[in-house]
Structure 1
Amino acid sequence: KGLRQATLHKYAYTLRPFESYLAQTGITLSALTPASITDFINVRAEALHKSGMLGTTGALRVFLAYLHREGIIANDLTRSIPRGRVYRQTSIPRAISWPDVERLLASVDCRSDLGKRDYAILTLLASYGLRAREIAALCLDDLDWEHDQISVPMRKGGHSTRYPLSAIVGEAMIAYLRVRRTDIADRQVFLAARSPYSPMTHTGVSCMVSGRMRRIGIQVARAGSHTLRHACVQRLVEADLPFKIIGDYVGHRHPASTLVYGKVAVHKLREMVIAQGEDVL
């Protein structure tokens, strides 16, 4: 179908638990029934968030349609999968406090090569609110040392962003690049710590962050790289920056993605309500 590699990875990631479920229950593909599919969905619902369930059911629906089209199953079972909905702005962003961000940064032992790499990643996440995919895709050519800038060319919205290279981020990047392996042909900045030293994946970036949070006792739902992205946005909101500027800074595609942070900023909520009231009057 000409799907992007990221889409194929997502399908594989969400369907592996289904493969394990079939192996554990001894059910073959040709013997699938609506009851067995419902049982699998109920099992997954115990471990996944609403958005995760939406991805799982979507991938499962595509897979079942393929099985029916290829004649592997006799009946079209896609209708046995419920179509859930995830409404925007129904939850509060899972940010941590800025003191916790500072505590996380301070916990990294920068004397080791691994510590230097992780500290550089954490400063990028906290300072610019980058996504894990953007960290993983960052290349050496994206660092403009002459003009003290860093480019993020592969943003979710399809655009690119250039940031001024702050002192703390610049120093962290230099410390890591001094110990980064030079015998690797890949141009990605961040490499895995073990042979064959391939470029880090977005999953690896997020797992590193969640692991370091867990080790120092930071409790937050679904901890990962996005936790620091939320913390970055929340800090900008608390600094009274306009939502439009904040959205542009972190690369939000839709204004609503930024406005959700108003839920935890009472003074911003008050400003929005007053502004809307003035528009009505």
Structure 2
Amino acid sequence: MLERFFLKPRTIDRIMGSWLGKDIELYASTLFETGYSARSILRRVPILVQFADFTDTRRIHDLSLAESLIDSFVDHWLSSHCIGAHPGLRQRERSLARCTVRHFYSLIVWKSDYQKRKAPAADPFVVEAPGFFSYLREERGLRPETLYQYRHHLRRFAVYLGHVGCADLRLLSLPVVTGFITTTAQEVNYSVMVGLASSLRVFLQYLRREGLLERDISKLVEIPQRYRLADIPRSISWEAVQKVLDQPDRRTIVGRRDFAMLLLMVTYGLRAREIAALTLDDIDWKRDRLHVRERKADHTTAYPLAPAIGEAIVDYLKNGRPDVSSRVLFWRHLAPRTALTHSAVASSATKYLHKAGITVRRPGSHTLRHSCVQRLVDSGFPLKTIGDYVGHRSASSTMIYAKVQVDALREVALGDGEDLR
């Protein structure tokens, strides 16, 4: 396997002559099989060879014992390879050396997939109210995404309590809670305040239920009022949509993939999560149908497969999608080969909106979804039909698009007003 990447026999002998030689060769083979480029492998193998030399000089030939020397090796690596380098380069090289050795241990030694992630922070108030997040998860049945929001808001609350010197939750009072809400409202927007106030209410109710508070002050926490149909959908004109569709370079793998995803957003109004969940089995080529199974409202929708979308997907399948056993439709183009997440799908839409020079509040996949719905409204389709088409859970979600007729208002503003008599 090493002959694929190293031309000189003495280089291969140098690698295989180290006490980690066979493991390094296995690591290079694994990287190649999972889609890593030759350039990436050529950068990683020398680091592992020097790690083997570093541990060998200390007479350590046991993988478990050598793992404790990773940080020392990284410092040694920097001192010999980054002399006089600027801080940014030193940081990149430090990250490369550490991640390479950690990745080697995960794949070859521990037989797992290493992911560079920060260690998860502890739940807030885990000592003061240890059962709160179990209560949210088991009794209220909240999803992990919702629990993440609770953690975020309550960590902010914990920091505030530390600043005001209220370490004991039994001493918590309404003025302290009000002070926290007032202070936070100056730093975050309206939608964040709604979630924060709601999370705080549930937390205070739990404290009262567990006897940590003498009285229930949760009802005194006011949630900011949100008026029905107050917002305006952040859709863009159909000319702007076409400009976005022109941005992907369809000569490349990424361009073919992203073009197909953008078409799904603007044609069917699919959410990023729904696109990420599509599989090869969801496309019925014989009947020209596209099945969207994992919708927000827990139902399935079958769409006619538009010829343009079918052609874009076929182009991606033939000339872009990696040869993998999984049935997931859209994949990363860089190693490691993994299916696209909904965050990656949304980020892709944001990227092309920026490239097209389109300014919109909170650009992303929902911008194109809103544009799809707005076009259907402007074409005169019934709101119930539109709601079913795009998978709205409630009719009120579709009604908001009917309150603003931008083109009609523009004609009134530019006209002479005679039609208003």
Normalised by the shorter chain, which TM-score bucket?
0.7 to 0.9
Q: Distance in 1 between matches of 2:154 and 2:302?
A: 41
Shift of 1:41: 6.7
Instruction: Decide whether the 8 Å contact of 1:15 with 1:60 is kept in 2.
Output: no
Q: Which amino acid letter does the alignment assign opposite residue 43 of structure 1?
A: T
After superposition, what is the alpha-carbon deviation per residue over 1:20-72, rounded to whole angstroms, capped at 9, x for unaligned? 6756985599456563774367436644343x432333234444555666788
In structure 2, the residue matched to 1:133 is 273
In structure 2, the residue matched to 1:90 is 230
State the secondary structure of the residue aligned to 1:163.
Answer: strand
Shift of 1:180: 1.4
Pairing 1:175-214 to 2, within 5 Å after superposition: 175-178=315-318, 179-183=320-324, 185=326, 187-214=327-354
In structure 2, the residue matched to 1:12 is 148
Q: Distance in 2 between matches of 1:74 and 1:142?
A: 55
Instruction: Give the direction of change, closer, same or farther, for the CA distance of 1:168–1:41 in structure 2 (3 Å limit).
Output: farther
Instruction: Give the direction of change, closer, same or farther, for the CA distance of 1:180–1:61 in structure 2 (3 Å limit).
Output: farther
Instruction: Give the direction of change, closer, same or farther, for the CA distance of 1:4–1:66 in structure 2 (3 Å limit).
Output: closer
Shift of 1:177: 2.1
Q: Distance in 2 between matches of 1:21 and 1:106?
A: 46
Shift of 1:227: 1.0
Give the percent of matched residue pairs that are identical in Structure 1 and Structure 2. Answer: 40
Over the aligned positions, Cα root-mean-square deviation in angstroms equals: 3.3
Q: Distance in 2 between matches of 1:247 and 1:215?
A: 30
Any gaps of 5 or more consecutive residues in structure 2? 1-136, 410-421
Q: Distance in 2 between matches of 1:224 and 1:5?
A: 29
State the secondary structure of the residue aligned to 2:257.
Answer: helix
Instruction: Decide whether the 8 Å contact of 1:205 with 1:225 is kept in 2.
Output: yes
Higher mean Cα deviation, 136-145 or 17-26? 17-26
Pairing 1:109-128 to 2, within 5 Å after superposition: 109-128=249-268
Instruction: Decide whether the 8 Å contact of 2:161 with 2:167 is kept in 1.
Output: no
Shift of 1:170: 1.0
Instruction: Decide whether the 8 Å contact of 1:150 with 1:164 is kept in 2.
Output: yes
Instruction: Decide whether the 8 Å contact of 2:247 with 2:355 is kept in 1.
Output: no
Shift of 1:134: 1.3
Any gaps of 5 or more consecutive residues in structure 1? 270-281
Q: Distance in 2 between matches of 1:199 and 1:38?
A: 45
Equivalent of 1:261, from 396, 401, 416?
401
Instruction: Give the direction of change, closer, same or farther, for the CA distance of 1:21–1:256 in structure 2 (3 Å limit).
Output: closer
Instruction: Decide whether the 8 Å contact of 1:15 with 1:56 is kept in 2.
Output: no
Pairing 1:154-233 to 2, within 5 Å after superposition: 154-178=294-318, 179-183=320-324, 185=326, 187-233=327-373
Instruction: Give the direction of change, closer, same or farther, for the CA distance of 1:212–1:42 in structure 2 (3 Å limit).
Output: farther
Q: Distance in 1 between matches of 2:304 and 2:385?
A: 15
Instruction: Decide whether the 8 Å contact of 1:30 with 1:72 is kept in 2.
Output: no
Q: Distance in 1 between matches of 2:332 and 2:221?
A: 38
Q: Which amino acid letter does the alignment assign opposite residue 152 of structure 2?
A: R
State the secondary structure of the residue aligned to 1:119.
Answer: helix
Q: Which amino acid letter does the alignment assign opposite residue 142 of structure 1?
A: D
Q: Which amino acid letter does the alignment assign opposite residue 143 of structure 1?
A: I
In structure 2, the residue matched to 1:277 is none
Instruction: Decide whether the 8 Å contact of 1:244 with 1:255 is kept in 2.
Output: yes
Larger Rg: 2
Q: Which amino acid letter does the alignment assign opposite residue 361 of structure 2?
A: A
Shift of 1:203: 2.6
Q: Which amino acid letter does the alignment assign opposite residue 124 of structure 1?
A: L
Q: Distance in 2 between matches of 1:63 and 1:108?
A: 46
Q: Which amino acid letter does the alignment assign opposite residue 266 of structure 2?
A: A
Q: Which amino acid letter does the alignment assign opposite residue 11 of structure 1?
A: L
Instruction: Decide whether the 8 Å contact of 2:353 with 2:363 is kept in 1.
Output: yes
State the secondary structure of the residue aligned to 1:10.
Answer: helix
Q: Distance in 1 between matches of 2:328 and 2:139?
A: 23
After superposition, what is the alpha-carbon deviation per residue over 1:198-249, rounded to whole angstroms, capped at 9, x for unaligned? 3333233222212321233211111111111110011112222222222221
With CA pairs under 8 Å and 6+ residues apart, which has the higher RCO, 1 or 2? 1
In structure 1, the residue matched to 2:60 is none
State the secondary structure of the residue aligned to 1:121.
Answer: helix
Q: Distance in 1 between matches of 2:213 and 2:335?
A: 43
Q: What TM-score does the superposition give when structure 2 sets the normalisation length?
A: 0.55
Instruction: Give the direction of change, closer, same or farther, for the CA distance of 1:39–1:160 in structure 2 (3 Å limit).
Output: same
